[in-house]
């Protein structure tokens, strides 16, 4: 039986429905990501689970117990916010101690647990600093320590890394995942960043417009998108309507197809012309026109000598097994 | 390259302004400690007798105390009312903030001379008859302090993310009451202290309402000053300087208190 079970969850604001009939099952100790574009209802779903907003219908079971009637204080859920939500009038240590203070944990034990929690996020020496004296990444680690020190049964993270710069984001990603695995903590991580979702999660729930469109591990989501939205949102797929695909592949097509940009290679019999390129670090992304169809092609950036200049005529090959039909 | 002359220019402007503001005060001060000063460039002699006379005058001491009482009363009332109000508006009904901003300006929109007539009508008779008592002054001063305090504390509230802070506190086990007290309130201290200070100095100097609503029945400092306008100018100067130093000291102490901790 799953640890967290969301059944037929509805949420409306007045007459606007944010989502209806959300179902999902999460196992104990699992790290799942809610991935979706901004405004699709990720935060609202998380706030429903945390009890920060009322649900309009449905059940949320944790360990078999329906938590919908419980106030947020009684749910045993920890949460980390994009804005950090650190209490500005308290030091890092006081922030972390706040939950224990509310639970009336004794001073000696509280002090020890605060020290441990700050050590876990490697901020031991910053205990006496106020949030205004910490960097964004440090703030978010304090917030993480604060949400973990009360030993929640479920950890919710709402775009915790979105306000941070790329390098810190990568470091923190690993740190969060490491701590989660060490504690075996059931975790829901919300993001709109596909790379974050693909690298961190045991399982990904892809959301769009209040619906869970697809769920599965990173491999499945990346290689087998169920529909055009999934294909467009993950992995920069080339999405081609049936008639366009027919022109490109010169065979009959019955529905829309998706081709990953790295499944197209240079050196084949499809005539094409380079329209431009951009450098994405170890990958070069070309815009190419082949048989009147615009395509995106990713190739490894081996050496500058291999670079195809704009206007160059090339041949393309498309791996047949990489062509996916999508609804 | 242009920083040096610019800095000099800025400094001159600041000092000129400072001198302009300080000069009358200096003159008044000098006048208040001179035996007599009329036909000569400098006073004839120096004395503290005006101050001694002032500070042993029971009517002055009484007016001074009554001014403090009325101001403190009004500010207490304002604080007790405005903190919960602000919390409710910003946490539960953020859309009401626009309406509040309009309401808050009303005391400014109506000139004191007009609104005091209205207040006299309203409170002159019936169940709310309190004309001539200090209570009407407390009530009136409260409405004057309200806009200052509302704006200053709102600025503090906007600097923190009240919803996320409340949510975080709730999830960590705090009741709404505790969260407001432990997490939100301490962050409003600066705005609260600054606006209390500003309102206090302002109300302490208020004359129109005090004179029209209560007058000599409950003499405040400014009303007393007005009633004393025909006495010796040296005496009035001593009064003004005493009053100035009181407000200055008060401001300084409050500033010090406010500076400690984050
Ligand atoms: N308090 C609210 N009242 C009305 N609509 C809301 C409220 N909060 C969020 N919404 C709407 O719900 C939708 C989903 O919002 P949200 O869950 O924040 O999206 P996400 O976190 O995926 O970006 C948005 O269209 C938003 O406008
Ligand atoms: Mg969101």
The answer, yes or no, to whether residue A275 has pLDDT greater than 60, is yes
Please tell me which of the candidates A50, A89, A103 has its beta carbon nearest to residue B187. A89
Q: Give per-residue pLDDT as tens, A181-219.
A: 999 999 999 999 998 999 999 999 999 999 999 999 999
Choose the CATH number for A4-231 among 3.40.50.300, 1.10.630.10, 3.30.565.10, 1.10.3720.10. Answer: 3.40.50.300
Hey, is B74 helix, strand or coil?
helix
Q: What pLDDT was estimated at residue B3?
A: 61
Residues of chain A with CATH 3.40.50.300: 4-231
Q: Which atom of ligand 1 is nearest to the CA of A46?
A: 17
Taking a C-beta distance cutoff of 8 angstroms, is the pair A3, A26 a contact? yes
Residue B231 phi/psi, 5° resolution?
-80, -170
What pLDDT score was predicted for residue B2?
52
What's the gap in Å between B166 CA and the centre of ligand 1? 18
Is the predicted pLDDT of residue A224 greater than 90, yes or no?
Answer: no
The gap from C-alpha A60 to its chain's centroid, in whole angstroms, comes to 21
CATH code linked to domain A236-325: 2.40.50.100
Q: What residues in B contact A146, CB-CB < 8 Å? A: 168, 172
Q: pLDDT band at A51, cuts 50/70/90?
A: very high
Report pTM. Answer: 0.83
Q: In this complex, do B165 and A85 lie within 8 Å of one another by their Cβ atoms?
A: yes
Q: What are the residues facing A189 on neighbouring strands?
A: A33, A157
Please determine, for residue A285, whether its predicted confidence score (pLDDT) is greater than 70.
yes
Nearest-angstrom CA–CA distance, A217 and B79:
56
Q: What angle do CA B233, B237, B242 make, to 5 degrees?
A: 150
* Mean predicted lDDT score pLDDT of chain A: 92
The residue whose CA is least distant from atom 24 of ligand 1 is A39
Outline which parts of chain A fall under CATH 2.40.50.100.
236-325
| d(C-alpha A188, C-alpha A204), whole Å | 10
Which numbered ligand comes closest to the C-alpha of A37?
Answer: 1
Q: Do B171 and A146 touch (CB under 8 A)?
A: no
Q: By the CB < 8 Å criterion, does B193 face chain A?
A: no
Question: Residues with Cβ within 6 A of ligand 1?
Answer: A 13, 18, 36, 38-44
Q: Which domains does chain B have, with CATH numbers?
A: 60-261 (1.10.3720.10)
Which ipTM value was assigned to this complex? Answer: 0.86
B31 Cβ neighbours under 8 A, 6+ residues apart: B37, B43, B233, B234, B237
Task: Spell B185-205 as b/e; 16+ CB within 10 A means b.
Answer: eebbbbbbebbbbebbeebbb
Q: pLDDT, tens digit, for every residue of A58-98?
A: 999 999 999 999 999 999 999 999 999 999 999 999 999 99
> Cα separation of B239 and B224, whole Å?
10
Measured distance CA(B253)–CA(B75) in Å, rounded? 17
Q: What is the pLDDT of residue B260?
A: 57
Task: Characterize the bridge pairing of strands A57-62 and A16-26.
Answer: unpaired
Radius of gyration of chain A (CA): 24
For ligand 1, atom 9, name the residue with the nearest CA.
A44
Which residues in chain B show pLDDT less than 70?
1-3, 126, 128, 260-262
Query: What average pLDDT score do residues A300-321 get?
Result: 86
Residue (of A88, A154, A92, A99) closest to A124 by Cα position? A92
Distance CA(B240)–CA(A167), nearest Å, equals 62
Distance A44 CA to ligand 1 centre (A): 6
Atom index in ligand 1 nearest the CA of residue A210 equals: 14
Q: Please, what is the Cα angle at A177 between A172 and A182, to 5 degrees?
A: 125
Does the beta-carbon distance from B164 to A81 stay under 8 Å?
A: yes
CA torsion sign for B14, B15, B18, B23 is negative
- Per DSSP bridges, beta strands A31-35 and A186-191 are parallel
CB contact under 8 A, A81 and B175: no
Which pLDDT belongs to residue B37? 75
Mutation test of the interface with chain A: which of B171, B178, B191, choosing the one with the most A Cβ atoms within 10 A?
A: B171
Distance separating alpha carbons of residues A117 and A150, to the nearest angstrom: 10
Closest by CA position to A114, among listed A132, A135, A128, A134: A128
The 3 state secondary structure assigned to chain A is CCCEEEEEEEEEECCEEEEEEEEEEECCCCEEEEECCCCCCHHHHHHHHHCCCCCCEEEEEECCEECCCCCHHHCCEEEECCCCCCCCCCCHHHHHHHHHHHCCCCHHHHHHHHHHHHHHCCCHHHCCCCHHHCCHHHHHHHHHHHHHCCCCCEEEEECCCCCCCHHHHHHHHHHHHHHHHHHCCEEEEEECCHHHHHHHCCEEEEEECCEEEEEECHHHHHHCCCCHHHHHHCCCCEEECHHHHHHHHCCCCCCCEEECHHHEEEEEEEEEEEEEEEEECCEEEEEEEECCEEEEEEEECCCHHHCCCCCCEEEEEECHHHEEECC
């Amino acid at each position: 039986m799953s640890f967290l079970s969301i059944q037929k969850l509805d949420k409306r604001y007045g007459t606007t429905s944010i989502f209806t009939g959300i179902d999902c099952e999460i196992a104990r100790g699992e790290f799942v990501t809610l991935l979706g574009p901004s405004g699709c209802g990720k935060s609202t779903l998380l706030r429903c689970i945390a009890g920060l907003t009322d649900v309009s219908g449905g059940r949320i079971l944790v360990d078999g117990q329906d938590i919908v009637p419980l106030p947020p204080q009684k749910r045993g859920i920890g949460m980390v916010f994009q804005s950090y939500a650190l209490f500005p009038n308290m030091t890092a240590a006081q922030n972390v101690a706040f939950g224990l203070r509310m639970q009336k944990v004794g001073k000696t034990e509280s002090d020890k647990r605060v020290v441990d929690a700050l050590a876990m996020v490697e901020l031991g020496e910053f205990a006496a600093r106020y949030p205004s004296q910490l960097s964004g990444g440090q703030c978010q680690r304090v917030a993480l320590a604060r949400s973990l020190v009360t030993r929640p049964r479920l950890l919710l993270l709402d775009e915790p890394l979105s306000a941070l710069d790329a390098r810190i984001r990568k470091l923190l990603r690993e740190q969060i995942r490491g701590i989660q695995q060490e504690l075996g903590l059931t975790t829901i991580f919300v993001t709109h960043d596909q790379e974050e979702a693909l690298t961190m999660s045991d399982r990904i729930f892809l959301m769009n417009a209040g619906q869970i469109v697809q769920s599965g591990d990173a491999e499945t989501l990346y290689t087998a998108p169920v529909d055009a939205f999934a294909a467009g949102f993950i992995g920069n797929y080339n999405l081609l309507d049936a008639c366009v695909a027919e022109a490109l592949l010169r065979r009959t097509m019955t529905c829309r197809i998706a081709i990953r940009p790295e499944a197209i290679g240079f050196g084949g019999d499809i005539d094409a012309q380079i329209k431009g390129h951009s450098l994405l670090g170890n990958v070069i992304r070309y815009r190419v026109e082949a048989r009147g169809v615009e395509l995106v092609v990713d190739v490894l950036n081996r050496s500058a000598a291999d670079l195809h200049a704009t206007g160059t005529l090339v041949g393309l090959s498309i791996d047949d097994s990489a062509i996916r039909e999508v609804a | 390259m242009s920083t040096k002359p610019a800095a000099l220019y800025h400094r001159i402007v600041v000092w000129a302004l400072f001198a302009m503001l300080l000069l009358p005060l200096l003159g008044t001060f000098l006048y208040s400690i001179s035996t007599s000063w009329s036909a000569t460039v400098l006073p004839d002699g120096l004395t503290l007798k005006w101050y001694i006379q002032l500070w042993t005058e029971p009517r002055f001491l009484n007016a001074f105390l009554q001014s403090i009482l009325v101001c403190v009363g009004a500010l207490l009332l304002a604080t007790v009312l405005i903190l919960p109000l602000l919390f409710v508006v910003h946490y539960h009904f953020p859309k009401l903030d626009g309406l509040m901003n309009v309401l808050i300006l009303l005391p400014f929109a109506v000139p004191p001379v007009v609104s005091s007539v209205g207040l006299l009508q309203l409170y002159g008779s019936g169940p709310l008859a309190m004309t001539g008592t200090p209570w009407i002054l407390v009530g009136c001063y409260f409405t004057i302090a309200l806009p200052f305090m509302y704006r200053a504390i709102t600025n503090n509230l906007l600097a923190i993310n009240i919803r996320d802070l409340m949510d975080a506190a709730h999830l960590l086990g705090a009741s709404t009451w505790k969260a407001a007290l432990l997490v939100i309130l301490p962050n409003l201290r600066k705005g609260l202290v600054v606006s209390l200070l500003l309102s206090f100095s302002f109300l302490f100097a208020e004359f129109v309402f005090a004179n029209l609503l209560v007058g000599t029945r409950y003499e405040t400092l400014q009303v007393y000053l007005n009633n004393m306008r025909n006495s010796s100018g040296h005496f009035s100067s001593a009064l003004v300087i005493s009053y100035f130093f009181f407000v200055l000291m008060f401001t300084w102490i409050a500033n010090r208190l406010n500076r400690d901790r984050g």
